[in-house]
């Protein structure tokens, strides 16, 4: 399975626009700033000098990040069961 490429959602943009960051911690705030849909989790972890995999998953679960590969993936064709 490919590693996700996370990008900010509109929810993240709203949080980043607020001065308090809607209570996001420093790591989460920085991760949202760096997630651009082109950086891998490995690259993001290197930039933040720590493993951000779990933080990214949590932010995705909260609606702040989305995997651009999942969003842009072509829908599977239904299988034709007739012979």
Neighbours of 6 (CB within 10 A): 29
Q: Cα–Cα distance between 83 and 81 in angstroms, integer?
A: 6
Per-residue confidence (pLDDT) for residue 38, from 0 to 100: 94
Q: Give the integer Cα–Cα distance in Å for 43 and 31.
A: 11
* The pLDDT value given to residue 20: 76
Task: Give the list of residues 6+ apart from residue 79 with CB closer than 8 angstroms, or none.
Answer: none
pLDDT tens figures, 51-71 = 999 999 999 999 999 999 876
From the list 67, 69, 30, 23, the residue with the least C-alpha distance to 52 is: 30
pLDDT confidence of residue 71: 67
Span 14-57, pLDDT tens digits: 999 887 766 788 889 999 999 999 999 999 999 999 999 999 99
């Amino acid at each position: 399975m490919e590693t996700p490429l996370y990008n900010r959602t509109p929810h993240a943009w709203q949080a980043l626009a607020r001065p308090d960051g809607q209570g996001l911690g420093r790591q989460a705030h920085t991760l949202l700033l760096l997630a651009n849909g082109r950086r891998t989790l490995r690259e993001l972890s290197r930039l933040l000098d720590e493993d951000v995999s779990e933080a990214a998953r949590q932010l995705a679960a909260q609606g702040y990040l989305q995997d651009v590969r999942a969003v842009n993936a072509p829908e599977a064709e239904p299988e034709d069961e007739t012979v």
